[in-house]
Amino acid sequence: MAIQLFHNPRCSKSRQTLALLEAEGIDFEVILYLDTPPDVNTVRHLLEKLDYTPRQLMRKNESKYRELELDNDTLSEEALIQAMVAHPILIERPILVTDAKAAIGRPPEKVLEIL
31-73 pLDDT, tens per residue? 999 999 999 999 999 999 999 999 999 999 999 999 999 999 9
Looking at the structure, tell me whether residues 44 and 86 fall in a common domain.
Answer: yes
Looking at the structure, tell me whether residues 99 and 62 fall in a common domain.
Answer: no
Looking at the structure, tell me whether residues 59 and 77 fall in a common domain.
Answer: yes
Looking at the structure, tell me whether residues 68 and 100 fall in a common domain.
Answer: no
Catalytic annotation, residues:
11
- How far is residue 9's CA from residue 16's CA, in Å, rounded to a whole number? 10
pTM of the model: 0.94
Residue positions counted in the chain:
115
Are β-strands 29-32 and 4-7 bridged in parallel, bridged antiparallel, or unpaired? parallel
Q: What is the domain count for the chain?
A: 2
pLDDT at 27: 95
Q: What is the CATH number of the domain that holds 113?
A: 3.40.30.10
pLDDT at 104: 98
Looking at the structure, tell me whether residues 52 and 77 fall in a common domain.
Answer: yes
Q: Taking 80 as the threshold, does the pLDDT of residue 114 lie above it?
A: yes
As beta bridge partners, residue 31 has: 6
pLDDT at 1: 62
Residue 46 structural domain = 40-90
Looking at the structure, tell me whether residues 21 and 57 fall in a common domain.
Answer: no
As beta bridge partners, residue 101 has: none
